[in-house]
Structure 1
């Protein structure tokens, strides 16, 4: 083990330990407050759906606040921010790179009240899953049955009619920074059915936000690519999305 200035230099140095302690403190506080916010949200089920949207946005802002002030992670947008794209209340299919949990809540905060397309296992969770349904999140059933697909497409169409943009992670799962798997087939099905322009978003959260205590201070960069028009052929649409969301991997 090498020495530097009379001290042992190792992966378990003081900065490493402080980062772990900060991450542990964040997890304890965030999940404790999340449980509280879940129970506070249940009375909102009796009201309008917009009340659930506001509660979800409060949760996302809490996550961002704690990440910034405990761990030292915050977001920075490069180029046009989302509020510029949405200045005319347009509805989009927003597709984003998915490297960690961090962006799932940051994008809720930035988008306001998107209809999030997510794996069915989350919607099936007790208590929390009930709130996801009330929020209008759209589950993806990986059994790929025709019934499940029609249900998902119908829910996506309903969200569009409400004037809500949809948020999709088109690679289907979280990936390590630098990985660029192909776009899943479900993207084009939604793109074709909804006939909406696409806003692709690149990000690099995987460099800072790992699982468990593997988190460290720094800036997570986001960048919205050029808007992709509706109605393109499948290969062209998928190629444009793939290139745009992987901008930071090149």
Structure 2
């Protein structure tokens, strides 16, 4: 019963609050567009606060998070880490499916924040656009983040990485920081009920650029699944 009440309180407060942040970002965009990252970070902190005080979910980081232009590769088990990245890192640019940028209101703000759209076609023009966006991001000293499984997966599953990781690894030539996340234990994909507990980020060893793509994939796959024991 307590879990159900907490989950209902989270839904009732976080989602209406998120709409207010989107409207605030739109207003800020008219007068001070460079301040949009601040609004986005405030939204992420609001989300973490709701998770902590309404759901009873704490956050623990094991290992060192590097500053600067790195390629962060993360396990993806729930919505939690998608939003919490803005708390975890300094203005990270998250690589996301192109379709997400067509969402009314949110899509335009996402572009202005500096999220990087990935075209499913992966044609030459899409790769050129991706390279240009990535270079502009790293020139600002910002990290690029990717969820290489493509979608949220239940805790305990270890699907292979999609081809997008290898392409970005070769294209960008950046050192890779892999991160395991176990958020699916307490916030399962597609479930209304969210349990209390601790969500852990486990930072793996840096994977240097220039490795054989198979070796890089193997290292990253092992690192992002370091917390992924079956339930």
Distance in 1 between the 2:10 and 2:226 partners?
Answer: 30
**Which string of whole-angstrom CA distances, capped at 9 and with x for unpartnered residues, describes residues 145-194 of structure 1?**
33333322321122112211101011111111111111111112211121
Pairwise CA distance, 1:48: 5.6
Pairwise CA distance, 1:47: 5.2
1:70 aligns with 2:54: yes
Distance in 2 between the 1:96 and 1:122 partners?
Answer: 19
Report what 1:223 is aligned to. Answer: 202
Report what 1:180 is aligned to. Answer: 158
Distance in 1 between the 2:130 and 2:173 partners?
Answer: 15
CA contact (8 A) 1:53 1:135 kept: yes
Q: Secondary structure at the match of 1:159?
A: helix
**Which string of whole-angstrom CA distances, capped at 9 and with x for unpartnered residues, describes residues 194-215 of structure 1?**
1110100001000100234220
Please list every run of 5 or more consecutive structure 2 residues that lacks an aligned counterpart in the other structure.
none
Q: Where does structure 1 differ by over 3 angstroms across 4 or more consecutive aligned residues?
A: 46-50, 143-146
| Corresponding residue pairs, total | 228
What is the TM-score with the length of structure 2 in the denominator?
0.93
Report what 2:135 is aligned to. Answer: 157
Report what 2:176 is aligned to. Answer: 198
Structure showing greater Rg: 1
Distance in 2 between the 1:177 and 1:189 partners?
Answer: 26
Quick one: structure 1 residues 33 and 71, their matched pair in 2 at CA, closer, same or farther if it must change by over 3 Å? same
Report what 1:36 is aligned to. Answer: 20
CA contact (8 A) 2:116 2:130 kept: yes
Distance in 1 between the 2:103 and 2:12 partners?
Answer: 20
Report what 1:57 is aligned to. Answer: 41
Distance in 2 between the 1:30 and 1:249 partners?
Answer: 27
CA contact (8 A) 1:160 1:194 kept: no
Q: Secondary structure at the match of 2:54?
A: helix
Pairwise CA distance, 1:62: 0.2
What is the TM-score with the length of structure 1 in the denominator?
0.87
Which is further off, 139-148 or 66-75? 139-148
Quick one: structure 1 residues 47 and 196, their matched pair in 2 at CA, closer, same or farther if it must change by over 3 Å? farther
Counterparts of residues 53-202 of structure 1 (less than 5 Å)? 53-78=37-62, 80-82=63-65, 85-86=66-67, 90-202=68-180
CA contact (8 A) 2:158 2:225 kept: yes
Distance in 1 between the 2:84 and 2:130 partners?
Answer: 24
**Which string of whole-angstrom CA distances, capped at 9 and with x for unpartnered residues, describes residues 36-83 of structure 1?**
1111111322456541111111000000001100110111112x242x
Q: Secondary structure at the match of 2:152?
A: coil
Please list every run of 5 or more consecutive structure 1 residues that lacks an aligned counterpart in the other structure.
1-16
